[in-house]
Structure 1
Amino acid sequence: MEKQTAPAMTVVSKEIKTTFKDLMKDIEDFPQAIVKEAVQAGLHPAGPQCWIYTWETCDMEAEFDLKICLPVATFGNSFKSDKFKLEKLEEYVHVKKTHLGAWDKLKDSYETLTEEMKTCLIEPKKSCRELYINCDFDNLANNITEIQFQAN
């Protein structure tokens, strides 16, 4: 298992506080609206949506910060929105695992990744990212999600 560094990237984003129990209710229409607003502003989507989870503890019942991001190429365009902001994410040192299939099985991939991290003596930080490489809502077995766990 090797640490990798994802480069800095410009994103349109929205940050909320939520819990896993309330996640779907709290995100409202953000995943669709973020793409629509970016395109209407003349920004070009430049990668898969990235959700960044940040927490104080790994308590699955606790509240955490979720930032929903769409990487974009701005081409010098300005961006004004009441709902979203344009920002630059810093580079991200991480280890990763690709999850193939339905999201209700993501927990299995997370467990495998964290076990590999323990074996390699890699200390996790307090955030992880999910990059939604392929989203197939008709056949969830076709989903491809890259899990990036921030590492020291």
Structure 2
Amino acid sequence: MYVKTHPPVTVLYSQHQTTLPQLSQYIGTVVKDLCAEAVHHNALISGAPLWIYHGMDGKPDTVFTLTIAIPIQGQFQPSRFAIKQLPAFRAVTHTHEGAWDTLAETYQEVMHHIDAHKIPMTEECREVYLNIDFQQQQYNVTQVQMGVI
């Protein structure tokens, strides 16, 4: 676990108002659609998919903003999505290996580290999906990034 400032990145993205129980409807589908749009416009997909959470507090009924994005290089006019540059992002970063049903444990570890070191947090967190394997979930690799000041 470490604090790192991640560089700015240009992304093709889709934004949603959702709750924790509703997240499953976005798994696999939105990223495929984003990739198809980027390929259609001959853009380079230049990084791993991101899920960016704003205002999520871990409670099942809280509505928050979810941005699903893929880093790209190349300018074009998207038909279904939008393009923006994400600013540099300072975060406590920790890698989760394995099934996503144990991701909450990784978040607890990160939160414990933040609390123990009295690091002020922002309201943004990100998940970067370094490896996605729906058939053998033990091979998933997800980088959890909790925004800090």
TM-score > 0.5, shorter chain as reference = yes
| 1:38-78 Cα distance to aligned partner (Å, 9 max, x none) | 0110111111001100016553420000000100111xxx3
Q: Does 1:4 align with 2:4?
A: yes
Distance 1:32 1:69 in 2: 11
Which whole-Å deviations, capped at 9, do the CAs of 1:13-55 have from their partners, x for residues lacking one?
Answer: 0111000111223678312100010011011111100110001
Q: Secondary structure at the match of 2:24?
A: helix
In structure 1, what is the Cα distance between the partners aligned to 2:134 and 2:58? Answer: 29
TM-score, L = length of structure 1? 0.91
Which whole-Å CA distance do the structure 1 matches of 2:86 and 2:148 have between them? 16
Match of 1:101 among 76, 98, 101: 98
Aligned runs of 1:4-43 on 2, under 5 Å?
4-25=4-25, 29-43=29-43
Structure 1: distance between partners of 2:148 and 2:60: 19
Q: Does the C-alpha gap of structure 1 residues 149 and 41 become closer, same or farther in structure 2, counting only changes over 3 Å?
A: same
Aligned length: 149
Partner SS for 1:3 = strand
Pair 146,56 (structure 1): closer, same or farther in 2 beyond 3 Å: closer
User: Per-residue displacement from partner, 1:65-106 (whole Å, max 9, x unpaired)?
Assistant: 0000100111xxx32233211111100011111000000100
Q: What's the offset of the Cα at 1:140?
A: 0.1
Q: Distance in 2 between matches of 1:57 and 1:48?
A: 24
Q: Is contact 1:18–1:26 with CA below 8 Å preserved after alignment?
A: no
Q: Please give the alpha-carbon distance, in whole angstroms, between the structure 2 residues aligned to 1:151 and 1:59.
A: 20
Unpaired segments ≥5 residues, structure 2: none
Instruction: Report the CA distance shift for 1:57/1:135 in structure 2 as closer, same or farther (over 3 A).
Output: closer
2:52 is matched with: 52
TM-score by length of 2: 0.93
Question: Which one-letter code corresponds to 1:52 in the other structure?
Answer: I
Percentage of pairs with the same residue = 29
Structure 2 Cα separation of the partners of residues 68 and 26 of structure 1: 9
Q: Distance in 2 between matches of 1:124 and 1:17?
A: 22
Residues 21 and 60 in structure 2, CA contact (< 8 A), matched pair in contact too: no
Match of 1:111 in 2: 108
RMSD of the TM alignment (CA)?
A: 1.7
Measure, in 1, the Cα distance between the counterparts of 2:49 and 2:12.
10
Structure 1 unmatched runs, 5+: none
**1:130 is matched with which residue?**
127
